[in-house]
Chain A
């Protein structure tokens, strides 16, 4: 009834996806080719640049997870500042990365701030994917007036520049870090909705979907077994390329003073506090920005690698 029940050359990606999704229903005696994700991982593993990105990202994640240990080891926390010890340069006796405007240890703040920045970005990414993926799938699968209505909404949101809109919402509702992630997601979902819609629309009349339908499969089964598995690689690639953009969005908003609010540090608001004093301490401006840049770079490299590994059609 479904495509994995009939043995056929496992060359195409749909066929091999069947191998991943429907492991239990293999035709006895047929030799199983490695699945899409296994092949993708072996491609990814040989991509040196992408692996570099992965290792760099893991190092950054370890650094922000270790915030409490760094705090305990150095004896500083992110909120208490020694007013006599402002603007100390890096490699001062106790402060490895120096101190900020209020005499707080930059290393500890960088670690805690990174935790907030990454958490907001990942949360916003997942929420964006849920909203955008859901809307895109509904629009693509059902078509008709639902599709038109949702896509007009997408058009409207895509033509409002995101940052001014974020600024407006953030001023009105003054969200905390968690709310901020949701607000960013509410502004960023249309892009992915459009991509997912296109993919679902293309699959809706694919032969194997028609076959399943003829065989009497319900909509829910078609969506879950035949459409979703095909959209997942695209969603993985999308989220790995979107998280850097979301990190930048949070940083931009916090940098303007309307994102994560003090005293909770984020890489963006650390820059905000430092920018007026760059003549006194340029390292305070350099360090948080460098952290943002390095993280965005590392995850971008992973994203490019995943794109090449999962779907060569998307590569440039």
Chain B
């Protein structure tokens, strides 16, 4: 159970040196109690205190890393149940399943598809993170050889999936340098798997048949000195996985229950790829640190990765686009110029509607620290002055021959002053971006 800040303070050196970051030992103790600092930051803490405080001061969910840079996957270290309480920190790693019964040609094709699961939308890049290599038939040597082949063909992080300690041992040996995740330890093979995880210093999945057994196995892993653990509470039905993931999260964060204070992994059970993505979307929304899926089809994976990006967006830090002039379609010197803010959502909503109007145009995004039109206006960040400055600095004066600029309807009040500052004619556009196609059609269609 968690200690209070005062409990921890009693065991600190009370030097108030500030070398750990917070200015006083008491402040450091409070930060430790809330899981926001690590005991290792204190250079003077006694070994006895370390022993006493180590467990209590660890973050509620351990940060575990799989793979190697630049494709290292860091998961766990979450501190809240609801994203509105702070944010979710380490987004769900998405793993694509590969069976070891593929022949060389099929494997080549499969890995090529997986490596190509890279997406760009609204100025962000999304990728899958891991390849989960499942032993399907064959002996230990064959599995190890297959794993080696996969490792040679992809730089993504690897999950080795087999219950056989023999096969795992040979495969782990073959790709140890890649720091794969071993999946995993069960009641039957626990000791052998623990030994492998220790030998290669790689993370290990603990796979119980339910929450009780998983916690018991995880505790044994900790006792054996295996610290990088990932939990699979054994469920495969959607509602039960949801409950297991929720319980792991709640027990770790609300109760500081150490045996379950680790990242989690969920494996889909749906065979139809579309149903599988919908099932996986539940796990991405509700706390899975890794989700293993079978489909490798772009149009099916993109919606899942988009949901992940949305859920893991920090509610305190809006996503921004670069404040600059952008062309939509084949914009020319005659094309209309729209102004909006650099809040990603606002910008791409406007861009989508301008694009839908089928009339090429320029969009000038003004730097508003990623706030929307009305918020930025209220905060004095989207003003006649800031827009006028953007007009000057963006180079729009050279890009177009006309001197007309369209501002959002909500800030119609800016038009007089903006006109004076720039000498441009200010047109008041629609309030909502959805009105842009009709507005553009009426104003600008030939």
Q: Do A and B bind each other?
A: no
